[in-house]
Amino acid sequence: MDAKKFFKRKESTKIEMLFFIVSVLFGLSFLFAHMGADDVSTQQYFEKSFMQGVKWIMDVIVTWSSRLLINMVFMIVRRYYNPLIYLYAAGSMYVIQKSLYLLIGKREDFHLALFISSVSLSFPFVILSTSGWIMGTTSYYGPACCMLAAMVPIRKTYDGEKLKLWEELLYVLIVIYAANGEQNVVVLLGIYTVAFVYFLLKKNLRARIVILWILTGFSFAYMLLCPGNYARSEANEAYWFPAYGMLDPIDKFDIGLSTTLRYIFCESELLILICLFVMMLFIWRKYSDFLFRVISVVPFAAAVLLGPLRTVLTVISPAATVLYAQIDYHGAYNAASMARGSGPLQFVIFLILIACICAEIFLINDTPEGIVCDLSLAVMGVGSRVMLGFSPTIYASSTRTYTAMLMCFSAIAVHDYANYRKQFGTIGKRTRMLYVCGALLVYGFLVLISGFAGMFV
């Protein structure tokens, strides 16, 4: 296709084409994926017949998990692997791009759409492989993409848009599906509770917000009361974390919060670095005050030094290893970590960095709505991972449990960049921004394919 002809098209057409092309390429990249872990271990439950799979799903509600709808989708995709996994992956990528675009309101901005595609591909997809690519994609990534889509009705209500009946029903189905994931429902319940209170105070409460809020509440109650979740917790405690029963709620909260904060600042995730970089750049452009600029630099600089440049930091100061050391198995505050001094020091530093990020949110946004939006996404995103501290599988579940949190960070990055575009235009020259986003897209695909190549079989 001639590049000049492409850029002469309408913005809306170019945006749809971009999202479609990226989604198709993402789906096709799963040709390189290998099955492993739960992809293989669960095959015995539904390899003979479809009804055998349905029986397995119903049994799991009592014996293992509350994910009725998510397990149903997994079973169908796993049973009919070709071509459903490619379609599901492509559909999930389109959903996240389109949802992030709709969440910023009525805008036709190709550069913003390109940034959204770049952010979407900056997700660390390799974390999905820890449970097998099919299981990870259908149980974590896809539902988390729908979690963002489930927030779109809030934006449409805020903008005063009317939805057709089929759109209302579609969002109901999306909320029910997304909220079937334990971490997703925590995020959605928190976000919809904030939306409910906001529209109630503004005397603009609509039936769709009430209905979707009630649905998330029912989904949360179902998760808590499902016997399968309790049975899984009991079985996993004996197998994965025998000492877990001796921990009190404070210890469990400590484990959840400490491991989450360490992941944010020490694991070199490109998506998090992009989010922190956008926030830093926004404040540098908006304010000339030295203190404000220092506050904006600290989180991004810390994430770079403790992540990608930790080797350089260690060469300069070997004692710096204490800053990014692994959190003790029983949390930051216990006898072992207190003796070494590493756990409490890390915890305090991470809390200071979080305080700086909260200050950035207040500095970036000029309206209460903007502040509430970013803070709600940040708090509920982090909270969705901190809650894993109350599960004995917090370590066994590996990094895939950060999916919901990373999706929230994607929304924050896009929201802040959209505000930047609205106030200041493109970061640097337009062509330079195109090159940067293009490079991020290529890098995202290369990392994804290399992740497939490194997957155990």
**Residue reference for tokens 């995020």:** 187
Answer whether residue 378 shows pLDDT above 60: yes
- Give the pLDDT band (50/70/90) at residue 456: very low
State the burial class of residue 233 (Cβ atoms within 10 Å of its Cβ: 0-12, 13-18, 19+): middle
> With bands split at pLDDT 50, 70 and 90, how would you rate the model's confidence at 129?
confident
Q: What pLDDT does 455 receive? A: 46
Per the listing, tokens 């915890």 go with: 347
pLDDT, tens digit, for every residue of 7-47? 556 777 888 999 999 999 998 888 877 777 676 777 777 77
pLDDT in tens, 137-155: 999 999 999 999 999 999 9
Q: Share the mean pLDDT of the chain.
A: 84
Integer Cα distance of 89 and 287 in angstroms: 41
C-alpha span between 150 and 144 (Å, rounded) = 10
| Cα–Cα dist 23/422, whole Å | 27
User: Which of 111, 121, 176 is closest to 150 using CA atoms?
Assistant: 176
pLDDT at 9: 62
pLDDT score recorded for residue 11: 75
DSSP H or E stretch at residue 23: helix 11-29
Contact 325, 264 (CB under 8 A): no
Contacts of 181 by beta carbon, 8 Å cutoff, 6+ apart: 67, 70, 139, 140, 143, 144, 147, 404
Question: 44 exposed, middle or buried (CB, 10 Å; 0-12, 13-18, 19+)?
Answer: exposed
Q: Tokens at residue 45, please?
A: 């439950």
Distance CA 346, CA 435 (A): 37
Predicted pLDDT of residue 199: 93
Residue type, 322: V
Model confidence over 385-414: pLDDT tens digits? 999 888 888 887 778 899 999 999 999 999
pLDDT band at 335 (very low <50, low <70, confident <90, very high): low
Q: Name the DSSP letter for residue 388.
A: G
- What is the arithmetic mean of pLDDT over 252-279? 90
Backbone angles phi, psi at 206, to 5 degrees: -105, 155
What DSSP character marks residue 140? Answer: I
Distances (CA, A) of 94 to 100, 201, 242, 270, 277: 10, 34, 42, 20, 25
Instruction: Tell me which of 148 and 237 has the higher pLDDT.
Output: 148
Task: Identify the pLDDT of residue 177.
Answer: 95
H helix runs in 365-402, sequence order? 368-386
Amino acid at 401: T
Query: Residue 237 pLDDT > 90, yes or no?
Result: no
Report the pLDDT averaged over residues 159-171: 91
**Which pLDDT belongs to residue 440?**
67
**Distance between CA 101 and CA 120 in Å, rounded?**
11
Higher pLDDT, 291 or 2: 291
pLDDT at 457 over 50: no
pLDDT at 342: 65
What is the distance, to the nearest Å, from the Cα of residue 415 to the centroid of all Cα atoms in its chain?
Answer: 14
User: Percent of the chain scored above 90 by pLDDT?
Assistant: 40
